[in-house]
Amino acid sequence: QKEVEQDPGPLSVPEGAIVSLNCTYSNSAFQYFMWYRQYSRKGPELLMYTYSSGNKEDGRFTAQVDKSSKYISLFIRDSQPSDSATYLCAMSQGGSYIPTFGRGTSLIVHP
């Protein structure tokens, strides 16, 4: 079992839908949680960064961390075709901070 599990998709939704992307993990020492968005032929760009449990909102994006269930989510409201990309979750422990990445979920938002 990988330390971080993420369904590769693809996840296809109509424009305007609420999208839910998820990752599970096995290492209870993870404290830092990130979501990256990667467009085709581009590098991953940091979307959301949270420490420990709880929610964080930024515009149409909300990140949730449930450490008791070892489960993190990214919600996208009012999804747009421009949100079509691969979304990678990542998490790390204190100390070295080196993140462990999920395999990424491919999201397609069709008009």
Partner 1 sequence: DADVTQTPRNRITKTGKRIMLECSQTKGHDRMYWYRQDPGLGLRLIYYSFDVKDINKGEISDGYSVSRQAQAKFSLSLESAIPNQTALYFCATSDSTGPPLHFGNGTRLTVT
**Cα–Cα distance measured from residue 37 to residue 21, given in angstroms and rounded to the nearest whole number:** 12
Q: Which of 72/90 has CB closer to partner 1? A: 90
x/- contact string, 10-39, with partner 1 (CB under 8 A)? ----------------------x-x-x---
Q: Dihedrals φ, ψ of 102, to 5°?
A: -75, 170
Check binding of 103 to partner 1 (CB under 8 A).
yes
> Nearest approach, Cβ of 18 to partner 1 (angstroms)?
25
- Burial tier of 43 (Cβ tally within 10 Å: 0-12, 13-18, 19+): exposed
Kindly identify the residues of this chain, within the stretch 47-86, that bind partner 1 according to CB under 8 A: 49
For residue 14, how many other CB atoms are within 10 A of its CB?
A: 9
15 within 8 A of 110, measured Cβ to Cβ: yes
User: Which of 21, 76, 85, 104 contacts partner 1 by CB under 8 A?
Assistant: 104
What does the binding site for partner 1 look like in residue numbers (CB under 8 A)? 6, 8, 32, 34, 36, 41-46, 49, 88, 90, 92, 97-99, 101-104
